Amino acid sequence: MSIIMPVRRLWPLVLAGLSGAALAETAAEAMGRCANVAQATERLACFDLAASASPAVAAVAPQPAEGAEPPAPTAVLAEGSPALHTPLARQWDLDEDDKRGIFVLRAHKPTYMMPVWYLQHPNRTPQTPSRGSADLFDRVLDHTEAKFQISFKTKLWENLLGSPADLWFGYTQQSHWQLYNKEQSSPFRETDYEPELVATLPVSWHALGWDVRMLGAGLVHQSNGQSDPLSRSWNRVYLTASAERGPWTVNARVWRRLSESAGNDDNPDISKYMGYGDVQAVYSTGSHTFAALGRLNAGSGKGALQLDWTFPVFHRLRGYVQYFNGYGESLIDYNYRTQAVGVGLMLNDWLAN
């Protein structure tokens, strides 16, 4: 299995791997060096490598009592390296020895604030086939606004019904704020609310050089909380799968919209523009993260592409650049083509744990 891991975390493993060649290093020195590694999983990996590389270290390693069952061997990758927990595994508790339990608040989708979000052509008259059209803020809209997103999840049920599966609750809220539109008293143009339930199942499948680590199924509601004629909402069930290969993480979803009665359907043609699934690819260099999200309805030819770049600024705070071109950038614009670019700050990216 390939590992996505920041370069700064590789040094304890490299040092441990060299311990067998360092003839002057004593067992106590090797054990002491590994004991100074801050991260628990990396500290354990350091001990494992030091023990396997140095007979002196192995001699002082704890041995099982006579008659006791020996401990399970550490999982290994190609080249004999111990398997550390990847960002995808930590994000969804895919490894049995690295679970955080239930009701712990976790990162879900990225949480960010972009004080500059530039729209090439703002949608001044949003409309749907069932609700007609409306003039938004008397058609007085600025091209530049602020955009922010808050997203979190928590595990509700671990080892669902005695299986390896987990049940999660996630919540995402995305807002578009006409912050600089003083003529209209800086109103919020759109806020979308997205609660969801998702069941995840850890797997270990290998195909074409990729490691498929997770399968899942979810139920998601999304709405903007507005009244007619600006109300937008839909409900979906989806299947998802996530895979890794070196610095790459890919997640794919397919969904089916849950039907509504004609009188209650704010946006009957939403699938024409939002399609029936999406694919997201994330590439991490250790300090920089690049992501691409794509949707396409082959029947209608409608879709969207979002490109993202995050980079370190200060500690966990990251700079963020986002570009969007297509339909569905927000619910109010689900059937309106948007082209926009923004810059800001992100608290966590897609590989946060």
Instruction: Please identify which of the residues 223, 242, 300, 315 carries the catalytic annotation.
Output: 223
In sequence order, the 6+-apart residues with CB closer than 8 A to the CB of 32 are: none
**Residue 223 annotated among the catalytic residues of the structure:** yes
Q: What is the DSSP string of 206-251?
A: EETTEEEEEEEEEEEEEE--PPTTS--EEEEEEEEEEEEETTEEEE
**Residue 300 annotated among the catalytic residues of the structure:** no
Distance separating alpha carbons of residues 238 and 95, to the nearest angstrom: 23
Distance separating alpha carbons of residues 336 and 25, to the nearest angstrom: 67
In sequence order, the 6+-apart residues with CB closer than 8 A to the CB of 262 are: 130, 268
SS3 348: strand
In sequence order, the 6+-apart residues with CB closer than 8 A to the CB of 313 are: 319, 345
Enter the tokens of residue 175: 């807002």
Instruction: Please identify which of the residues 221, 287, 288, 300 carries the catalytic annotation.
Output: 221
- Under 8 Å between Cβ of 335 and 273: yes
In sequence order, the 6+-apart residues with CB closer than 8 A to the CB of 236 are: 219, 220, 222, 255, 256, 257, 258
Catalytically annotated residues: 221, 223
